[in-house]
Amino acid sequence: MQKRLTKSQDKILVGVFGGIANYFNVDPTWVRIIGAALIIFTGFFPGTALYIIAAMVMPEANEVSPRVEKHETDYQTGRPNTMNGDFTKSDNHDEDSNDNQDNKN
């Protein structure tokens, strides 16, 4: 199974630094110290902004990725989603092509 960057269950604020520590298999305390130092020494704005963005983007540890969800119907047409790669515009595509061939003869 592929390793994913997720928020940590052992969290102090949101779990971003703990999740980064889990991903790289390092002690969360060191990641938190380094992260806090970077936020303080960069003038608070860039580090805080990056932390907030990471908190919004990183999924929870138990959360299912949207890529693996299968939808039963196509959201544009409402037809059943067959997931077979056939992207024709009409259900009776073969009948339409036969009608067009009859008109040509």
Sequence-distant (≥ 6) Cβ neighbours of residue 4 within 8 angstroms: 23, 59, 65
Tokens of 16: 């971003």
**What gap in Å lies between CA 26 and CA 76, rounded to an integer?**
45
Q: What is the dihedral of CA 66, 14, 4, 39, to 10 degrees?
A: 120
Q: Which residues does residue 80 pair with via DSSP β-bridges, in sequence order? A: 73
39-93 tens-digit pLDDT: 999 988 999 999 999 999 999 988 766 654 566 777 777 777 666 655 555 555 4
Q: How far apart are CA 105 and CA 79, in angstroms?
A: 33
pLDDT band of 103, cuts 50, 70, 90: low
pLDDT of residue 73: 74
